[in-house]
Amino acid sequence: MIPINIVVHQQSKVLELSYENGNTYRLPFELLRVLSPSAEVQGHGPGQETLQTGKRDVLIASLEPVGHYALKPSFSDGHDSGLYSWDYLQYLCENQEELWKEHLNKLAAAGLDRDAPMIQAGHSCGSH
């Protein structure tokens, strides 16, 4: 489903998506950033994800449509390689509570706090 209205709320740090069926969702910028569909965050296969921290205050610097299938946000921390398809955004909207809990549980399991600074690991992939 394609949203009929998209609003970037910088002050409250949420992306608001409204749909034809009357549903409106508010996705926090931090959630969008830590669950970016980019290879930098998701890796190139299972188990290659990079746990994101220190993104509580991230902002969306710009938001561009990509064809008729996705949005490309540029975040204030410089991350701009995630293409958020309409299906992925809808998935985030419908599952954000569980996805957020899962992220917090992964942080806890790794002994990390969501506000910890990101530790940059070396990448063997030439695209980042």
One-letter identity of residue 23 = N
Using the predicted structure, report yes or no on whether residue 125 has a pLDDT greater than 80.
Answer: no
Within-domain flag for 120: no
One-letter identity of residue 116 = A
Within-domain flag for 19: yes
Task: Give the pLDDT confidence score for residue 48 in this predicted structure.
Answer: 87
Within-domain flag for 73: yes
pTM above threshold 0.75 = yes
Within-domain flag for 126: no
Q: What is the count of structural domains for the chain?
A: 1
Give dist(CA 79, CA 75) in Å, integer.
Answer: 5
Within-domain flag for 124: no
Within-domain flag for 95: yes
Whole domain around residue 52: which residue ranges? 5-109
Give the mean pLDDT of 99-115. Answer: 95
Q: Which residue has the tokens 């709320």?
A: 9
Using the predicted structure, report yes or no on whether residue 122 has a pLDDT greater than 50.
Answer: no
Domain CATH number, residue 64: 3.30.2020.30
Give dist(CA 5, CA 9) in Å, integer.
Answer: 13
**Chain centroid, CA 70 distance in Å:** 13
Within-domain flag for 29: yes
Within-domain flag for 68: yes
Task: Give the pLDDT confidence score for residue 47 in this predicted structure.
Answer: 82
| pLDDT tens per residue, range 71-94 | 999 999 999 999 999 999 999 999
Task: Give the pLDDT confidence score for residue 127 in this predicted structure.
Answer: 41
Give the Å distances, CA to CA, from 87 to 29, 76, 91, 93. 18, 24, 6, 10
Q: Which two tokens stand for residue 67?
A: 């064809």
